[in-house]
């Protein structure tokens, strides 16, 4: 423990500089204009893994972006930890809302990060959190305290649905065999309230297109006499929630796992201030499904949200027009037992059925994935809990997160292993938003905590 702290202290400036170098490359998987940058990032991750002590590192081709695989096998009879992370990032848009360019990392102090935070796209999600594991490996190899085997699988398509990962798992079961999967791609409650994520929501993402007349029309000559696709789409979307903010798609809630009163009471013990929550977002009230608390609404309950909506004239000034088409992108966050493909079909059937005469509706499914819950009794959870207790001086709280990492349920299905989600980000770190950042304190705390996970996991596995 003392060793670990000392090593982190001695090398922290370099740890930060190396992360900053990685953050300079715009590895935006959603935008093909950045293809070369995404590929270059895969190569950079390979080099870093080799430097950190992996004996074998490969950049594995897939139909999409490559998966970087690395390993250090010290003894076949010892347990194996498989680390997963992603080197791709979300698009930085809207650019004008960034206080400094998204791919020119800067360190600035904030109220929550008086020690400074690194501002850049991917700082927290997930380059910063992924790189903690690379530096933890360096620390363990350089100080001669790697207690077990380690494998890395760092992908480049997480932000666009991990399309190539399913095949990769099926084709590489042997290579990826492990005793536990370790991921830092989530958050924790607060710097003084460590938590381990025990649940993730599933996701169904669809795009809808409503077509009215075969061309854009003069809104005076035709207005009132034909269906306006934007009016219609707005009405259809509005009808997807009732007055209690329940989702109206028939069958949507059929398989939703209902938590017992005891479990809900347990959840409610996590420290949370509604006042601070509202203040941080500058809203005067929260909004959501009747009968559930804010923390329940964003973790154990499913949702339906419009992520984007467009059509018609949005340029300067006014144009009197009835557009031929209107569009929206819609995401549904799902909870355990809801099957994302089934929900996608239920959505499609319902959305088509509520279209009025005079328009055509097209529902295009995008990606999706299943939710996940993991017990706090597993060896992995216990090891993580002990590791946090050592570095934070407090036993971490189990927490269900509202975000999605669809591959976690795939891991369980294909590799039969449990995933431990050791996240070190804060909700206020603005992942996917302008001015994403990652606290230097959080980054270094992660590097300090991870080696202890390896230690306890190896001890408890005996």
Interface residue list for Mn ion (CB under 5 A): 125-126, 185
- How many chain residues interact with ligand BES (CB under 6 A)? 16
371 binds, among Mn ion, ligand BES, none (CB under 5 to 8 A by kind): none
Cross-strand pairs, 107: 118
DSSP labels, 307-348: EEEEES--SSS---EE-SEEEEEEEEEE-TT--HHHHHHHHH
The C-alpha atoms of residue 175 and residue 178 are separated, in whole angstroms, by: 9
Minimum distance from residue 404 beta carbon to Mn ion (Å): 9
Closer Cβ to ligand BES, 71 or 125, answer by number:
125
Cross-strand pairs, 373: 199
404 binds, among Mn ion, ligand BES, none (CB under 5 to 8 A by kind): ligand BES
421 DSSP 8-state letter: E
- Region binding ligand BES by CB under 6 A among candidate stretches 53-61, 214-222, 308-316, 400-408: 400-408
Q: Which of 71, 179, 185, 436 binds ligand BES (CB under 6 A)?
A: 185
Minimum distance from residue 328 beta carbon to Mn ion (Å): 21
Phi, psi (deg, nearest 5) at residue 329? -110, 130
Which helix (H) or strand (E) segment is 437 a member of?
Answer: strand 437-439
Q: Which residue has the tokens 């740890």?
A: 15
Q: Burial code of 408-445, b = ≥16 C-beta within 10 A, e = fewer?
A: bbbbbebbebbbbbbbbbbbbbbbeebbbbbbbbbbbb
The C-alpha atoms of residue 442 and residue 445 are separated, in whole angstroms, by: 5
Closer Cβ to Mn ion, 71 or 125, answer by number:
125
Contact mark string toward ligand BES, 140..169, x via CB under 6 A? ------------------xx-x--------
Cis before 339 (ω within 30): no
Site membership for ligand BES, residue 203 (CB under 6 A)? yes
The C-alpha atoms of residue 301 and residue 256 are separated, in whole angstroms, by: 8
CB burial of residue 306 (10 Å; 0-12, 13-18, 19+) = middle
Map the footprint of ligand BES across residues 403-432, applying CB under 6 A. 403-406
Minimum distance from residue 425 beta carbon to ligand BES (Å): 7
Closer Cβ to ligand BES, 131 or 456, answer by number:
131
Q: Which of 187, 199, 202, 451 binds ligand BES (CB under 6 A)?
A: 187
159 DSSP 8-state letter: G
Closer Cβ to ligand BES, 200 or 387, answer by number:
200
- Region binding ligand BES by CB under 6 A among candidate stretches 65-73, 174-182, 183-191, 448-456: 183-191
338 binds, among Mn ion, ligand BES, none (CB under 5 to 8 A by kind): none
Q: Which residue has the tokens 């006014």?
A: 318
DSSP labels, 211-279: E-SSS-EETTTTTTTS--HHHHHHHHHHTTB-TT--B-STTTTTTPPPPPHHHHHHHTTS---HHHHHH
Closer Cβ to ligand BES, 178 or 186, answer by number:
186
Closer Cβ to ligand BES, 153 or 210, answer by number:
153
9 DSSP 8-state letter: H
436 binds, among Mn ion, ligand BES, none (CB under 5 to 8 A by kind): none
- Region binding ligand BES by CB under 6 A among candidate stretches 15-23, 54-62, 113-121, 401-409: 401-409
Q: Which residue has the tokens 């090398």?
A: 11
Map the footprint of ligand BES across residues 88-147, applying CB under 6 A. 125-126
Enter the tokens of residue 173: 């079961």
Minimum distance from residue 402 beta carbon to ligand BES (Å): 7
End-to-end CA distance of the chain: 21
Site membership for ligand BES, residue 401 (CB under 6 A)? yes
Minimum distance from residue 313 beta carbon to ligand BES (Å): 30
In the complex, the residues that contact ligand BES under the rule CB under 6 A are 125-126, 158-159, 161, 185-187, 203, 367, 369, 401, 403-406
């Amino acid at each position: 423990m003392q060793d670990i702290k000392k090593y982190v202290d001695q090398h922290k400036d370099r740890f930060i500089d190396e992360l900053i170098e990685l953050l300079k490359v715009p590895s935006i998987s959603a935008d093909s204009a950045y293809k070369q940058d995404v590929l270059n990032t895969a190569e950079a991750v390979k080099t870093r893994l080799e430097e950190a002590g992996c004996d074998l590192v490969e950049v594995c081709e897939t139909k999409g972006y490559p998966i970087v695989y690395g390993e250090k096998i010290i003894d076949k009879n010892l347990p194996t930890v498989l680390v997963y992370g992603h080197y791709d990032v979300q698009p930085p848009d809207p650019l004008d809302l960034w206080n400094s360019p998204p791919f020119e990392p800067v360190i600035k102090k904030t109220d929550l990060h008086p020690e400074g935070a690194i501002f850049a796209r991917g700082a927290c999600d997930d380059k910063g959190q992924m790189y903690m594991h690379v530096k933890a490996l360096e620390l363990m190899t350089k100080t001669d305290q790697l207690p077990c085997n380690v494998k890395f699988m760092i992908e480049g398509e997480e932000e666009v649905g991990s399309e190539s990962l399913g095949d990769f798992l099926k084709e590489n079961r042997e290579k990826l065999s492990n005793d536990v999967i370790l991921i830092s791609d989530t958050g924790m409650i607060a710097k003084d309230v460590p938590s381990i994520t025990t649940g993730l929501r599933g996701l169904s993402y669809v795009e809808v297109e409503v077509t009215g007349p075969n061309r854009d029309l003069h809104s005076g000559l035709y207005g009132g006499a034909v269906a306006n696709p934007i009016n219609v789409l707005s009405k259809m979307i509005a009808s997807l929630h009732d007055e209690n903010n329940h989702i109206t798609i028939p069958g949507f809630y059929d398989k939703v796992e209902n938590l017992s009163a005891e479990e809900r009471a347990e959840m409610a013990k996590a420290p949370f201030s509604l006042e601070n929550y509202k203040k941080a977002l500058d809203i005067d009230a929260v909004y959501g499904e009747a009968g559930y608390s804010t923390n329940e609404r964003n973790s154990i309950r499913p949702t339906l949200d419009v992520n984007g909506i467009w059509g018609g004239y949005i340029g300067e000034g006014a144009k009197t027009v009835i557009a031929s088409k209107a569009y929206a992108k819609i995401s549904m966050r799902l909870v355990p037992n809801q099957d994302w493909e089934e929900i996608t079909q239920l959505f499609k059937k319902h959305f088509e059925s509520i279209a009025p005469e005079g328009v055509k509706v097209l529902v295009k499914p995008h990606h999706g994935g299943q939710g996940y819950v993991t017990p706090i009794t597993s060896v992995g959870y216990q090891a993580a809990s002990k590791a946090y207790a050592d570095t934070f001086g407090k036993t971490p709280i189990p927490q269900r997160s509202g975000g999605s990492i669809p591959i976690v349920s795939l891991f369980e299905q294909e590799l039969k292993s449990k995933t431990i989600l050791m996240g070190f980000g804060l909700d206020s770190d603005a992942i996917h938003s302008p001015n994403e950042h990652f606290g230097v304190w959080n980054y270094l705390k992660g590097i300090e905590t991870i080696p202890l996970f390896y230690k306890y996991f190896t001890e408890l596995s005996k």
